[in-house]
Amino acid sequence: MFRAPQLRKVKLILILSLAIVFTLYSYIDVIVQYGKSGLGYPVVTTTTIPPLTDKSKWTSILECPLTEIDPWEPDDSRYFGSPSEPSKCHPKEPVTSKLENGKLWIDPKGYNVNCSYKCLHSKRGNVSKPDTRISFILPGPAQVFCDWVDVSCKIKGWFWNSHYRQVHSQIYVPPESSRPNVTKKRYNVYILGLDSISNGQFHRTMPKTAFYILNKLRGISFQYLSKVGYNSAPNQLAALFGQRFTSVPHPPRGYPILNVTNREFCKKFHTKDEPFLHFIFNDQGYRTVHIEDLKSVITAYPNCKGFRGKFSNHSAVPLFEELEDDDFSKGVLEDSCKEKFQICADFLRNYMKTETPEPKFAYSMLTGPGHEDLEDPYNYDEYFYRWLQSVKENLDDAFLLIWSDHGHHFGKFTNTFRGQTDTRNAMLTVVLPKDLRENSSHPIVQNLRQNSQTLVSQYDMFPTLVDLATADFGSPSSFTKHLTLQDFQKLNKRIHEVHGDSLLRPLTHRTPTCAGLGIPFTFCLCQWPIFTPDDAYELKTRVVYDIPPLLNGFLKSRGAEKKCMHIEIDVDRGIDVAEVSARLVTPSTRMIRTRFNIKGHDYDNSHDTELFFEIATDGSLSLAGRVFRFDTQWTDGKCLTDEYEQYFCICV
């Protein structure tokens, strides 16, 4: 038997032992996950590609080694949470209302109510124009001549008063609308956009939705769709305008220097002459809708003027202007147990189900399901599974593109090799109209299936959608050859540039590499092995002393040295270097990937940064691709307007 003092000592020893074991386990876990730099800072050195030091087996930097991307890689499971418990929210509806066939109904449920409603209209760009309120005369109904209607009821009780607010949507088609003179066979075209959900994340976190699309709707999933810019703007705008919104003045040797092709985009209002996708569909006799679950639509992002007037026949903009009213927001979202994206998805479903005299085009991009946390899509898998079931019959005469602009940007998974690959690998699955689904020998079906297994980019989205708007679907043989820029210009006079190809057609004429397709090297899905070179210590020294002059020199060349702090490397946070196993254009040159933390001369925080550089035979260094800062820390460079330059800058 232990005496009391001895027992306390035994307990203390056990507690200390457990603490030491736990600390060692945690440390080992960090080493396993990240590797360890020479200066003690855990950085990403692991990769699913085995190191390759035999130079005779290296692949050219101008080729494209693609590896199969497994969404269920066991090592990834530590970064993904699990579905949360279903919401126990119960709608607070002392009064109910509904909008059916253009008629608004309100059920007071026996209460003494005073109700009114008003229409919400689009005025221009991301600005709406609400009507004045109209009293609702019970028992109703009231005829509504708009897409969005805001309902408000004041409820008088014996001991209390309350307020009911709700919004309803429909697709209002004026009775004078006439059927356009369309001579070619036309399909409806719908885009269901899910912001920040990669191809792998979609299959990993939304398995029921993916199963329904691939098995019930026979969707064709593209495995290697590469983003072409860091965030939403350069990727979505590439699809909407067909222009390049990313510049890369420091490409690896052999890669093209890329420039933004429309530098006036944010400086002036967009005009009706723009090569904007909605206008191109309008030109072909389509009705259009633009749906985003944010107030600031992508055409006016981040601080652009946007369109001076309306840019689509229907829009979700009126909803988000009104949601700035706290009372309206509480009633529509909190009291109704709804999220913004669900109201937008309902609007898209209404659009798909509405009979119109013309074919329909829909562009939607929903941030709610997956933009914030990596595991969020788990919670909406059932919702989209049921949503797709509800519109299945409306897809018989339509192309449905389930699409994302890029993968997830936040958290520890992004800091891993696989996470970096994942964020570059956007999602695209194409569901065909029923007659094409059932005709596997049709050239469109064969082309899509073949193209789904090769490298494609967001630059291919615009020509694909233009093709859907203008093609002669009554002539299958016309899909056996690709379209040139001259072909697109004949189809629509708005088009002045095309940086990709229609995925409905053969891609055999082009080289499926990042260099060949104009995909910036930093966002390239092609994967070359890396290894730790023998001169790693010397390379780290070069990074400390030679990289800051390159970064600061670039800012000075752009006249930004007074807006941005002088950049230094935070040596206390560690440095990692790895050599890329790739044959370069200049054989004696080496490519190095390095990761470190940068800090400004007058700045307490440091930014986790990665870049590639090349070392020439004379020892000189040159950047090879853009600077990348993790966890969206590039926002500290917002004093500069050019997106590429922002990554170099920490604003004073």
All residues at 6 or more sequence positions from 627 whose CB lies less than 8 Å from its CB, including other chains: 551, 609, 610, 611, 647, 648
**SS3 (DSSP) at 593:** strand
Q: What is the mean pLDDT of the chain?
A: 88
Side chain identity at residue 255, one-letter code: Y
Pick the CATH number of 188-286+358-523 from 2.60.120, 3.30.160, 3.40.720, 3.40.50: 3.40.720
- Is a pLDDT exceeding 50 seen at residue 37? no
411: left (phi over 0), alpha (psi -120 to 50) or beta: left
Closest CA to 164 of 104, 224, 116, 93: 93
State the first-to-last Cα distance of the chain, in angstroms, to the nearest integer.
68
Q: Assess contact for 500 and 462: CB atoms under 8 A.
A: yes
Tell me the pLDDT tens digit for each residue of 286-344. 999 999 998 778 888 767 888 988 899 999 999 988 898 899 999 999 999 999 999 99
How far apart CA 146 and CA 169 sit, in angstroms, is: 8
Q: Are 421 and 383 in contact (CB under 8 A)?
A: no
> Between these two residues, 29 and 493, which has the higher pLDDT value?
493
Please report, for residues 261, 547, 581, 596, the alpha-carbon distance to residue 616 in angstroms, rounded to integers and kept in the order given: 31, 14, 16, 22
| Identity of the amino acid at 172 | Y
> Binning pLDDT at 50, 70 and 90, where does residue 160 land?
confident
Assess contact for 459 and 517: CB atoms under 8 A.
Answer: yes
Write down the pLDDT at residue 4: 55
In terms of Cα–Cα distance, which of 457, 478, 483, 341 is closest to 405?
Answer: 457
Pairing mode, strands 59-60 and 582-583? parallel
CA distance 521 to 625: 6
Q: What share of the chain has pLDDT > 90, as a percent?
A: 65
> What span, in angstroms and rounded, lies between the C-alpha atoms of 165 and 113?
12
pLDDT of residue 124: 74
User: 446: Cβ–Cβ under 8 A, 6 or more apart, which residues?
Assistant: 440
pLDDT given at position 14: 62
Q: pLDDT tens, 249-292?
A: 999 999 999 888 888 888 888 889 999 999 999 999 999 999 99
Helix (H, G, I), strand (E, B) or coil at 184: coil
Least confident span in 39-43, 71-75, 469-473, 590-594: 39-43
Looking at residue 258, the DSSP 8-state letter turns out to be B
* 3-class DSSP assignment, residue 286: coil
Q: Give the model's pLDDT for residue 364.
A: 97
Burial 546-573 (b: 16+ CB within 10 A, else e): ebeebbbebbeebebbebbbbbbbbeeb
CA distance 281 to 285: 7
- Predicted model pTM: 0.90
Alpha helices by DSSP H, listed for 566-649, are 643-646
- What are residue 289's phi and psi, to 5 degrees? -140, 145
- Give me 646's structure tokens: 């922002």
Half-sphere exposure of 317 (CA within 13 A, CB side): 26
3-state secondary structure 85-149: CCCCCCCCCCCEEEEECCEEEEECCCCEEEEEEEEEEEEECCEEEECCCEECCCCCCEECCCCEE
Residue 6: its pLDDT value, please? 57
Say if residue 19's pLDDT is above 70. Answer: no
Contact 63, 516 (CB under 8 A): no
Phi, psi of 623 (to 5 degrees): -65, 145
* Tokens encoding 174: 């004026």
Q: Under a CB-based contact definition with an 8 Å cutoff, are residues 169 and 343 in contact?
A: yes
Task: State the pLDDT at residue 42.
Answer: 33
- Pairing of β 188-194 and β 225-226: unpaired
Rounded distance between C-alpha atoms, residue 635 and residue 327, angstroms: 32
Note the pLDDT tens digit of each residue in 183-199: 678 999 999 999 999 99
Phi, psi of 590 (to 5 degrees): -115, 150
